[in-house]
A and B are shown apart, each in its own frame.
Chain A
Amino acid sequence: MTAVSSRQQLNYIAAQAADARVNLEIETEGMTLNIGPQHPATHGTLRIVAKLDGEQVIAADPVMGYMHRGYEKLSEVRTYPQVTTLVNRIDWLGSFANEVPFILAAEQLMEVEAPPRAQWIRTVLFEMSRIANIVLFLGDMAVQVGAVTPVFFAFRDREHILNQIEAATGGRFHPNFDRIGGLKDDLPKGWIVETKQVMKKMRSFCDEIEELVMGNEIFQARTRGIGVVPADIGLSYGLSGANIRGSGVDWDVRRDGTTGAGGLVHSELDWRVWTHPDGDSFSRFWVRLQEVRESTKMVDQLLDGLPSGPIMAKVPRIIKVPAGEAYVETENPLGVMGYYVVSAGGLVPFRVKIRSASFNNMSITPWLLTGVYVPDIITILGSLYFILGDIDR
């Protein structure tokens, strides 16, 4: 562009050399940055030990276990209906969705199927817990880049969803509503109309977030091209949900389930799976935003087509599950969640392996955080979106 005088060039070289000396000095010192366990970006108590070279991370090591509750061991001393109380606390923002795969696995072993109405209401609540969960992410992601307002919008609008979940199940956060063979109760009177209004509110919330956050220049600068996960790396780490769809992998267990699980009726609805080719923090945010919209449409369709009939199949009052093994996974708000249930034929499971989404999603962080700058740690963690209870179990 403009001609540079030799004097300027010499000055520049001298400055570079000075910088290099400073860098060299810093390098020898090194620094270990300890993030957490208490940090707003950790959604619980996660600690990340990052070794820094200047502003750059050269190694990151997440330290988990601050919230390990041993659900796999505890499940071995709980009856099947009692296990849902435990697993409710795994991903506490979308609790109902945690119950569903476990109940489906138990149903598969017992060879019972919930009646159609129960399956439809189950799917309604499943999708509503997804909305309640991801709405908070949409607001929270803005906090990670320094915008405080959207999270208040998110808390405000999530309240509508929680009110509906509470009206139907009796619990705002931990419904414990799913039963082997159906549901605890039918929907209350007037619930369908109210829920449809709430879905409208959620759609306008999505529009609001799209205008407020996604187009924002700072947000774009902080998320575009940051934390890029190539599809093959994401697959080998077992990423799921929006994290893998944000890398352009078109895979959604609701549509492509491999475990032969009945019990949810997504196949009867008109919806689509969203993917984004970039694989960066922005694309993960974008995919989640579209997913909330898609879920609100699903809930509308489900409520329109709700079949009548009983909500509970005929199951014995004392649940004894015949010996066998079943693995059922579903597409939960945070990603794929599955239960490998081994039954020895009795009141309690012999072994329950909980495959939770966040554990896999977070296992990529040592790879992903290496080489990024310190402020980006927060946005990358935010965009991977984990719940600590879902990692530690």
Chain B
Amino acid sequence: MIRLSSNDTVDVTAAFGADETDAAAANGSATDEVREAMLSELQEELGEAVVESHIAAGVDITVRVTSEAWASTAEFLKNEMGFAYFNFLSAIDWLPSPFGRDMDSQVDLALEPAAEPVEPEEMEHGLAGGETRFQVLARVNDVAGHRAVTLKADVDDTAMSAPSWVPVYAGANWHERETWEMFGIEFVGHPGLRHIYLPGAFEGNPLRKDYPLLARRVKPWPGIVDVELMPTEQTDEADGEAPETPAAAALATPGESTEETGDA
């Protein structure tokens, strides 16, 4: 019985020595050149389809392609560049919260009279820029070469669709179902877009910024409790943001901060 495992051990011992050097190379100063080379290879193949890119030296690379080139980029990465590993696919909604950003404020607007939704602020896109409200986001890895790239593509606001990755990466199936359900982005060529987490009759796209988190609309935001100063730390200079609102006082009642039921 022990023999079986020792037999298996032999195979892997031989393969081990070679990989340590690879790891050292990937973590060393050469990383930047690796990412620059990846980018130029992509630009060479895709040309105009590479809209913008961002390289954080020694950390990560983000490439934004046009939505038309979304599937062909994946094909090229997988078949020509060795990025055979599908990591994840999702989306980002760049719309600032239309609820006056009360989720992020020191004053809980839900308890204030002025809880009306205000005009949305200007959208600010992150790494590698963007023009539309929604962006699809994905990451693929080159397992042998210890490389990875994050891809983004703008999703047209009216069409709300992107080409599906399922023919290229089979694992994109569930991820696209999730993205479709949560953001309402159609994936053209997907074998069966249907709900994955939520009940079949569910309406709405919960991860959109304008989808209200009802549990937070009817209850005060628990984040404010943490910001409240401890009695002994009133003199601390760094924390001038103590919430002195009636909302904060109302929050002092115990047992309200632990619920985590979802959104429906």
Contact = CB atoms under 8 A, between A and B. Distances in A.
A156 interface: no
Interface string A46-84: 000000000000000000110011101110111101100
Interface string A338-356: 1010101011100101010
Contacts, number: 190
Contacts of B216: 77
A270 to B, nearest CB: 11
Contacts of B223: 77-79, 82, 347-348
A273 B16 contact: yes
Interface stretch (A94-102, A135-143, A274-282): A274-282
A232 interface: yes
Given A72-B207, A238-B86, A316-B238, A348 B171 contact: no
A216 B2 CA distance: 11
A260 B173 contact: no
A238 B85 CA distance: 6
A258 B147 contact: yes
B207 A286 contact: no
Contact of A260 (B58, B104, B168, B198): B58
Given A68-B197, A340-B137, A76 B103 contact: yes
A360 interface: yes
Contacts of B84: 232, 235-236
A86 interface: yes
B152 to A, nearest CB: 10
A214 B23 contact: no
A317 interface: yes
Interface residues of A, number: 73
Contacts of B88: 238, 338, 340, 353, 355, 360
B2 A69 contact: no
Given A259-B60, A267-B27, A353 B148 contact: no
Interface string B180-223: 00100000000000011111000000110000010010000111
B80 interface: no
A363 B176 CA distance: 12
A344 B124 contact: yes
B236 A317 contact: yes
A126 B36 CA distance: 33
Interface string B75-108: 0001000001111101011001000000110000
B227 A318 contact: yes
Given A69-B260, A69-B262, A215-B1, A359 B174 contact: yes
A259 B59 contact: yes
A77 B221 contact: yes
Nearest to A393: B197
Contacts of A39: none
A71 to B, nearest CB: 9
Given A70-B263, A77-B213, A348-B104, A317 B137 contact: no
Contacts of A147: none
Contacts of A351: 92-93
Contacts of B147: 258
A327 interface: yes
Contacts of B1: 210-211, 214-216
B26 A325 contact: no
A362 B49 CA distance: 33
Interface string A307-329: 00000000011100001111101
A329 B148 CA distance: 11
A152 interface: no
B4 A214 contact: yes
A73 B171 contact: no
Given A64-B196, A68-B262, A355 B93 contact: no
B66 interface: no
Interface stretch (A9-17, A173-181, A185-193, A247-255): A247-255
A259 B171 contact: no
Interface in A187-210: 210
A256 interface: yes
Interface in B157-190: 168-171, 173-175, 182
Contacts of A233: 170
A74 to B, nearest CB: 6
A66 to B, nearest CB: 9
Given A286-B8, A323-B124, A353-B90, A363 B173 contact: yes
10 contacts: A68-B262, A73-B207, A73-B263, A77-B216, A77-B221, A236-B170, A251-B144, A259-B60, A274-B12, A286-B8
Interface of A: 64-65, 68-70, 72-74, 76-79, 81-82, 86, 108, 210-211, 214-216, 220, 232-233, 235-238, 249-251, 255-260, 267, 272-277, 283, 286, 316-318, 323-327, 329, 336, 338, 340, 342, 344, 346-348, 351, 353, 355, 359-360, 362-364, 367, 392
